[in-house]
Amino acid sequence: MISLKDIRSAILISLWFIFLTFPLMVIKVNPIDRVIDWRWLNMLYVGGGSFFFYLISRIFIKHKEARQDKMQKKQESERIEKSWSIFYKPKVYVPFLVIIALFALAFPLLFSTYQTNIMITALMYVMLGLGLNIVVGVAGLLDLGYVAFYAVGAYSYSLLNLHFGIGFWTALPIGALMAATFGILLGFPVLRLRGDYLAIVTLGFGEIIRLILENWNEFSQGPSGISNIPRPGLFGLEMSLNGAITYLYYLMIILVLFTVFVVNRLQNSRIGRAWFALREDEIACQAMGIDKTTTKLRAFALGATWAGMVGVIFAAKTTFVNPASFTFLESAIILCIVVLGGMGSIIGVILGALVLILLPEYLRAFSDYRMLVFGGVLVIMMVFRPQGIISNIRRTYTFTGQEDSP
């Protein structure tokens, strides 16, 4: 399994790590006693640790390569289908769904407000991920400025509330509509672009929106942001803080279900097919009579809609918005959710969002190392499952005529 070459490179790598971490891990200056502590034991840990981690990763990678060689492409796709097909049987997935639904419903009763709050954030990212999934996963347009639409939604609600006293429920569709409009606005100049170029332009777009919000003081109150945004109301009912959070939680559950429903319907429609075709081959797509312009604009607009809605919810949840919440890092995290979860797969994106948002929260126990572990998880995922947690098994249209019985 492990060749001599692997062991040699493992030794080299562990030596390299020892060298890199030497100043941090081994040398410790004690300013009180004015002495230097040489922690040689740490060096041993670093060396040994990296040695074994490297060997283990080699074994896994070799195992994976061997499996890939063995499987022909065709067999592989069959295998994937077989391993997942058990989840498609109603007998299996119905009880599964019931358990998840009960858990989701009971969550605020079982856990503290703090936990519920984290869960609300995670659900918001589920919606964001599903929205971006339309643009990146389904239509194959790499969008690095998705957070701009999120900001548009949040500021739509904050500003409309500030100036006109518009409530949450009116602002929700307005925010969605505003974001969709901005989606189309972004869509027009980037229609000709693809891949890297598109990514750069969308990145610029995201930054432009943030910079406008930051610098146009008369419009958005600049970096100090807008505060005292009301939480979502329920027929004018007065709610305690805890009650408001629980209410928001159930609201998010409903909205996530709504998102899943709509996105699923869209993907399995004539429009969704056109998006998938656009991702596969743009020229052939046009030659088949699909209008590239409208298809792309639809993807941008429908993807942005969800970001706009989540933006409104975000403003209502935190009761305060400022431009610092809409940095490039947000776009990157949402993109990570889509890629990690599995491009084009709805369940994958949901899992991806939960993992990526909840993991750093529950890793707080490891305090200093939590971002390190987080980064490590991402790297490991991309090495061993580049297609995401759940690869998109698209066989929506399987013909089931009598001619087709295998």
Partner 1 sequence: MSLVREPSADQPILEIRGLTMEFGGIKALDHLDLQVRQGEIVALIGPNGAGKTTFFNCLTGIYKPTAGDLLLTPTGEKTRRLNGLKPNKVTEQGLARTFQNIRLFPNMTVLENVMIGHHCRTKARILGAIFRGPETRREEKQIVRQSYTIIEKMGLAGMVNEFARNLPYGAQRRLEIARALATDPQILLLDEPAAGMNPQETNKLDHLICRIRDEGLSILLIEHDMKLVMSLSDHIFVMDYGKKIAEGSPEQVRNNPDVIKAYLGEDIVDGNT
For residue 254, report the phi and psi dihedrals to the nearest 5 degrees. -65, -45
- Least distance from partner 1 to the Cβ atom of residue 404, Å: 6
Q: How far is the CB of 142 from partner 1 (least distance, A)?
A: 17
Nearer to partner 1, 90 or 406 (CB): 406
Least CB distance to partner 1 at residue 139 (A): 13
Q: Which of 106, 73, 304, 80 is nearest to 205 (CA)?
A: 304
Q: Which is nearer to partner 1, 148 or 277 (CB)?
A: 277
> Rounded CA gap, 284 and 289, in Å?
9
Smallest gap from Cβ 100 to partner 1, in A, equals: 24
Indicate the SS3 state at residue 319.
coil
Question: Which of 37/291 has CB closer to partner 1?
Answer: 291
Q: Which residue, 220 or 295, is less far from partner 1 as judged by CB?
A: 295
Dihedral (CA of 347, 349, 350, 351) sign: positive
On whether the CB atoms of residues 252 and 120 are closer than 8 A, the answer is: yes
To the nearest 5 percent, what fractions of the chain are helix, strand and coil? 75, 5, 20
Cβ-based neighbours of 154, under 8 Å, separated by 6 or more: 175, 311, 312, 314, 315, 321, 325, 326
Whole-angstrom distance, CA of residue 54 vs CA of residue 202: 37
Could you tell me if 10 and 55 are in contact, meaning their C-beta atoms sit under 8 angstroms apart?
A: yes
- Binding segment (CB under 8 A) for partner 1, from list 98-106, 160-168, 262-270, 322-330: 262-270
**Nearest-approach distance from CB 347 to partner 1, in angstroms:** 18
Q: Counting contacts by CB under 8 A, is residue 231 touching partner 1?
A: no
Site string for partner 1, 42-81 (x = CB under 8 A): -------------------------------xx--x----
Q: How many Cα neighbours within 13 Å face the side chain of 247?
A: 16
Alpha-carbon gap, residue 185 to 152, rounded angstroms: 12
Nearer to partner 1, 112 or 269 (CB): 269
- Tell me which residues in 266-325 interact with partner 1 (CB under 8 A): 266, 269-274, 276-277, 280-281, 283-292, 298, 302
Residue whose C-alpha is closest to residue 170's, from 182, 159, 179, 157? 157
Residue 387 CA to residue 379 CA, distance in Å, equals: 13
Between CA 267 and CA 353 the distance in angstroms is 19
Q: Which is nearer to partner 1, 155 or 300 (CB)?
A: 300
Minimal distance in Å, beta carbon 272 to partner 1?
7
- Residue 46 or 390 having the CB closest to partner 1: 390
Size of the site for partner 1 (CB under 8 A): 37
Distance of closest approach, residue 259 Cβ to partner 1, in angstroms: 12
Compare residues 205 and 306 and give the one whose CB is closer to partner 1: 306
* Residues within the interface to partner 1 (CB under 8 A): 73-74, 77, 262, 265-266, 269-274, 276-277, 280-281, 283-292, 298, 302, 394-399, 401, 403-404
